[in-house]
């Protein structure tokens, strides 16, 4: 489960291509990364992952960490949203 990130928050979605034989190790690696959640796994090694961070810099850092994990072949960010505190907008 993802730890809640306070606002403002950067929410990103990634498609990760990985070696199918490395999926179980990646499940554990993603679980150990703060703000990272694995949502779907295909038999051929495609994964859908979300990342929630408090800053753009942290998003980039987390993305690079995922790209460097063993058995990750590629990672592509397909969505990014910047959330602000709704109480501050009122």
Is residue 4 a part of any domain in this protein?
no
Structural domain boundaries enclosing 65: 9-78
Is residue 85 a part of any domain in this protein?
no
Instruction: Please report the pLDDT score of residue 84 as a whole number.
Output: 84
Residue length of the chain: 90
Sites in the chain below the pLDDT cut of 50: 1-3
Is residue 1 a part of any domain in this protein?
no
CA separation (Å) from 88 to 10, 46, 53, 65, 77? 16, 38, 19, 32, 28
Rounded Cα distance, 50 and 30, in Å: 10
Rounded Cα distance, 6 and 23, in Å: 30
Is residue 90 a part of any domain in this protein?
no
Q: Residue 31: give its domain's CATH number.
A: 3.30.70.920
Tell me how many domains the chain contains.
1
Instruction: Please report the pLDDT score of residue 86 as a whole number.
Output: 61
pTM: 0.83
Instruction: Please report the pLDDT score of residue 89 as a whole number.
Output: 53
């Amino acid at each position: 489960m993802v730890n809640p990130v306070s606002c403002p928050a950067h929410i990103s979605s990634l498609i990760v291509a990985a070696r199918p034989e490395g999926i179980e190790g990646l499940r554990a690696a993603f679980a150990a990364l703060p703000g990272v959640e694995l949502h779907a796994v295909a038999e051929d090694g495609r994964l859908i992952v979300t990342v929630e961070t408090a800053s753009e810099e942290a998003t980039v850092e987390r993305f690079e960490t995922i790209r460097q994990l063993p058995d990750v072949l590629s990672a592509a960010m397909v969505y990014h949203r910047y959330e602000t505190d709704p109480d501050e907008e009122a």
